[in-house]
Structure 1
């Protein structure tokens, strides 16, 4: 293959790869909110742990 043809193909492929990398970076940087099911699940876990914990005894008044 002629060197200039190879170089042109190399540059074209490099542009494609950079575009793919930029798209991947943009997609990775977007934070997706947790679905309602996951938030509800962790809320129920937190509530269950609070209910299962030993009750606190109030301080005696003098």
Structure 2
């Protein structure tokens, strides 16, 4: 195959893939509305931290005379 033909086919296929990716992103955004992940993440880690402190509290309280 001539190099220019190969390059033209490559560009056409790349454009098709980009269009499919854009359509998929739009469909995914319509199916699942975004929620504030930053807030959920921070809340989750805060709960983990509280749980770890509660789990470690009896050992620390038993060491104090």
State TM-score, norm by structure 2: 0.46
Give the structure with higher Rg (CA): 1
Q: Which has the higher helix share?
A: 2
